[in-house]
Amino acid sequence: MARFHALPVAAVDRLTDDSVALTFTVPPELAEEYRHAPGQHLALRRRADGTEIRRTYSICSPAPHTEAPRQLRVGVRLVEGGAFSTYALKEINVGDEVEVMTPAGRFTLAPAPGLYAAIVGGSGITPVLSIVSTLLAREPKARFCLIRSDRTAASTMFLDEVADLKDRYPERLQLVTVLSREEQQAGLPSGRLDRERLTGLLPALLPVAEVAGWFLCGPFGLVQGAERALKELGVTRTRIHEEIFHVDAGTPTAPTTPAPAHSTVTARLDGRGGTWPVQDGESLLETVLRNRSDAPYACKGGVCGTCRAFLVSGEVRMDRNFALEPEETEAGYVLACQSHPATEKVELDFDR
Ligand code: FES
């Protein structure tokens, strides 16, 4: 069950003009709760002036092997007008306490021998940095091809950390950088990494069919283009893992269908259940939250997956889903923040 704890900030490192890495100290008594897999994220919460803001940020530090983590580091990029990122970049100082949820997310890789690859854009490097550094440190028979796209070198997050990894594992880490708005002295010509370019580029870079897992992370357009390119190249969906960091307001959502007049949701959460009427237009998460303030969520936008619940009975309509893999929806999982009842009774289990 996801929980928030106030963790002290041990370091605030400026990465670029518009991004920082925040390091939190994990006290020994909470270390087990913050044990994480490489690629997972943390939701951060700020309560001020009667409002509550939550945002998820990926962990960039490697996942410790056997011991629990003593520190956790996340990358935060400033979003224009972003309430939390502005606070993180301008106000958070070493020694402050920040409310941090226990790790969540399924964009992860369990270290195993083989060839892996990632296509990332902008801050999408953050979880992949944890995945690559954990994999190469733990599994000597693993190799990784990291393809990253940024606007300019100056706006590239974790430039030094990635260069250090390349120095440490020159044979096992292949690093390909594309800058969309700046020519590089060496490497690929500038320009966007879209579907067409990737379809031509990937077979020239690595043996596509041998890649055991593809990790796509960044803005919706880049992830969607990369997924289409991989499908064109014959990669099966089960080998593709995606995490979307930014969804444009214009991104299509599922068509709306009228909800039954009087619906109820029954939800099980942290071992306790309840049944409540769903008010007109609200999501199932909102119904549950009105009655159980401990219901898990972060983005409320269908992106982070924190509100995932198992649909025990009934049917729901989801507005949009950028978080669940097809296997998860087929297995019966839904995003509560995007779900509306399509039957009079709906039953969710947040504990499964
Ligand atoms: S709260 Fe992020 S997907 Fe529902």
Ligand 1 centroid, distance to 257 Cα (angstroms)? 21
| Band (135; pLDDT cuts 50, 70, 90) | very high
Residues 214 and 278: their CA atoms lie apart, in Å, by: 39
Residue 345 clears pLDDT 80, i.e. is over it: yes
**pLDDT, tens digit (0-9, with 9 covering 90-100), for 269-284:** 999 999 999 998 899 9
Q: Is the CB of 289 under 6 A from ligand 1?
A: no
Instruction: Give the closest residue (by CA) to ligand 1 atom 3.
Output: 302
**pLDDT (average), residues 100-108:** 94
| Band (66; pLDDT cuts 50, 70, 90) | confident
Q: Is the CB of 2 under 6 A from ligand 1?
A: no
Residue 187 clears pLDDT 80, i.e. is over it: no
**pLDDT (average), residues 38-61:** 94
Substitution site in 337, 339, 340, 350 for ligand 1 pocket (most atoms within 8 Å of beta carbon)? 337
Instruction: Characterise 330 by phi-psi region: left (phi > 0), alpha (psi -120 to 50), beta (else).
Output: alpha
Name which residue leads in pLDDT, 181 or 256: 181
Ligand 1 centroid, distance to 201 Cα (angstroms)? 34
Substitution site in 58, 299, 319 for ligand 1 pocket (most atoms within 8 Å of beta carbon)? 299
What is the structure's pLDDT at 27?
A: 96
Q: Is the CB of 305 under 6 A from ligand 1?
A: yes
What is the structure's pLDDT at 320?
A: 92
Residue 259 clears pLDDT 80, i.e. is over it: no
User: Smallest Cα–Cα separation from 60: which of 165, 214, 211?
Assistant: 165
User: Smallest Cα–Cα separation from 145: which of 167, 112, 119, 163?
Assistant: 119
What is the structure's pLDDT at 243?
A: 93
Ligand 1 centroid, distance to 282 Cα (angstroms)? 14
Contact 153, 182 (CB under 8 A): yes
Amino acid at 80: E
Residue 84 clears pLDDT 80, i.e. is over it: yes
Q: Is the CB of 297 under 6 A from ligand 1?
A: yes
Residue 190 clears pLDDT 90, i.e. is over it: no
User: Smallest Cα–Cα separation from 265: which of 288, 246, 243?
Assistant: 288
**pLDDT (average), residues 273-300:** 94
Q: Is the CB of 300 under 6 A from ligand 1?
A: yes
CA angle 349, 350, 352 (to 5 degrees): 75
Q: Is the CB of 193 under 6 A from ligand 1?
A: no
Identify the H or E element spanning 162. helix 159-168
Ligand 1 centroid, distance to 321 Cα (angstroms)? 9
Q: Is the CB of 307 under 6 A from ligand 1?
A: yes
The residues, ordered by sequence, that sit 6+ positions from 88 with a Cβ below 8 Å of its Cβ are 20, 22, 44, 76
Q: Is the CB of 298 under 6 A from ligand 1?
A: yes
Q: Is the CB of 303 under 6 A from ligand 1?
A: yes
CA 79 to the chain's CA centroid: 16
**pLDDT (average), residues 189-201:** 90
Structure tokens at 28: 């020994």
> Among 13-17, 43-47, 180-184, whose mean pLDDT is lowest?
180-184
**pLDDT (average), residues 200-204:** 96
* % pLDDT > 70, the chain: 96
**pLDDT (average), residues 174-183:** 89
What is the structure's pLDDT at 260?
A: 79
What is the structure's pLDDT at 185?
A: 73
Residues 120 and 137: their CA atoms lie apart, in Å, by: 21
Q: Is the CB of 306 under 6 A from ligand 1?
A: yes
Place of tokens 């370091």: 11
| Band (81; pLDDT cuts 50, 70, 90) | confident
What is the structure's pLDDT at 7?
A: 98
Contact 188, 177 (CB under 8 A): yes
> Among 178-187, 280-289, 307-316, whose mean pLDDT is lowest?
178-187
What is the structure's pLDDT at 252?
A: 54
Name which residue leads in pLDDT, 329 or 66: 329
Residue 184 clears pLDDT 60, i.e. is over it: yes
Sorted by where each starts, the structural domains of the chain and their CATH numbers stand as 4-101 (2.40.30.10), 114-246 (3.40.50.80), 264-349 (3.10.20.30)
User: Smallest Cα–Cα separation from 338: which of 315, 321, 350?
Assistant: 321
| Band (143; pLDDT cuts 50, 70, 90) | very high
User: Smallest Cα–Cα separation from 223: which of 300, 124, 107, 130?
Assistant: 124
**pLDDT (average), residues 15-19:** 96
What is the structure's pLDDT at 1?
A: 76
What is the structure's pLDDT at 296?
A: 93
**pLDDT, tens digit (0-9, with 9 covering 90-100), for 223-256:** 999 999 999 999 999 999 999 986 665 555 555 5
Q: Is the CB of 41 under 6 A from ligand 1?
A: no
Crossing angle of helices 159-168 and 125-138, in 10° steps, is 20
| Mean pLDDT value across the chain | 93
Substitution site in 243, 244, 307, 318 for ligand 1 pocket (most atoms within 8 Å of beta carbon)? 307
What is the structure's pLDDT at 288?
A: 97
Ligand 1 centroid, distance to 140 Cα (angstroms)? 36
Burial class (CB in 10 A: 0-12, 13-18, 19+), 190: middle
**pLDDT (average), residues 310-335:** 94
Contact 99, 23 (CB under 8 A): no
